[in-house]
A and B are shown apart, each in its own frame.
Chain A
């Protein structure tokens, strides 16, 4: 009797039994009626009203039936002209409804997400949308794509200073390798992270002063003294490590030194999702 352990099976069998019993009792009562029932009732129009000796019973419409019939007609009119969605059902309409409900549901939740939640959300999006190229660990999958554990942090800036950068289509064109020594580029990175980027946080606060000097002499010619990139001349470094830069890369795509990243504009990530992704990427503290 293993099959009955599943309560759905049990319900089904019980229901089948009930239907069987009801069917049998109903048909037996009908058979009985065929054998035994006599026609009785009031004759319509008395004895005179008969055709070839066949009379007719009075057969008044039951009141309940009349009422329900009329109610049904009224309901039918209402349904046809008002109740039925005249725009008619469509899957797309249902989708839009679903979307609205979904957004409403999450709006309140997204208003004040904690960093931890953003990180988790970002990781979820990352695994589905990005991990095929950037790898599950976001370390770039053996140089298939950018190592995001460094991207948006000091190490990322050092990498760019060492290798140059290309692909986001700024007027200044390709950024060549700058040829700074490791110490200097670390200093520049810490200065950008601490004073220019909106993150305003660096791991090496001691180097900021030195970085500022080098930045003004080496980088400011393209990125501007304030690091804002001189209105599209070069990358706006105030965005570095923030959702704004991520949004830019997602929208434009990037054809860089490693390979090509297609534009993800078509995925229509919401600002919250981009923020979540950026938070997740920031949370990856890569190998320095």
Chain B
């Protein structure tokens, strides 16, 4: 039966590789699929958070900030519970980053407030002396791009089956409804901010990029998920 393979080393090698690969497929892939499932209670990004996420990507925040807390004592002490695969299920693309020039942001929503972010983005050194982060004053001027954010969220829903519009979950709806939710959520953020121009812009129905970005940053952490039960009891 296998004489052909025994006479042809090349095909034998090929057959061997295939047979060997089966083991990998059987053993490794199921685990991938399992761990990539959304973690229980994970909420998709709301429309404003999606817009903020795009600001995060536009500004290249991931070049200096990671979003992945490794399970080491030192990291958990500093940043909070370590990250789990299932938390990234709705992150397309993921924003793990590759280096830390600034701190990890995967749990930043737990320990910073809107007011703090506002100060920090306007003048980083005012709250973190010695910070080398540039000031992001232009975010206070530019309007957040609702249309692209809606397109993005809608794509997530239609193409990737991200659970929007589920009862009790994050609502998306059609364009008008989404816009309404977008403004409502922005109001919740702006109420905690000080800049009068941003408040004025919101009254005219315009949301500044900084508002979207803060919404996104606030969503990173407990906001998206209940704290893992077996999370590190930092000692």
Contacts and interface: CB of A to CB of B under 8 A. Distances in A.
A95 B72 contact: yes
B132 to A, nearest CB: 15
Interface string B69-87: 0111100111011100000
A274 B71 CA distance: 22
Contacts of A269: 234
Interface in B134-183: none
Contacts of A262: 110-113
B116 A102 contact: no
Interface stretch (A112-120, A128-136, A187-195, A196-204): A128-136
B16 to A, nearest CB: 21
Contacts, number: 77
Interface residues of A, number: 30
A264 B111 contact: yes
A273 B233 CA distance: 12
A268 B231 contact: yes
Contact of B116 (A95, A98, A144, A268): A144
B234 A132 contact: no
* Max chain A C-beta neighbours (<10 A), residue from B126, B127, B192: B127
A229 B76 CA distance: 35
B111 A98 contact: no
Contact of B115 (A91, A106, A259, A270): A259
Contact of A266 (B78, B116, B128, B222): B222
A132 B71 contact: no
A135 to B, nearest CB: 8
Contacts of B235: 99, 102-103, 106, 270, 272-273
A183 interface: no
B107 A98 contact: no
B232 interface: yes
A141 B116 CA distance: 11
Interface of B: 70-73, 76-78, 80-82, 107, 110-116, 119-120, 126-129, 192, 221-222, 227, 231-235
Given A263-B110, A266-B81, 4 more contacts: A95-B71, A98-B73, A99-B232, A264-B111
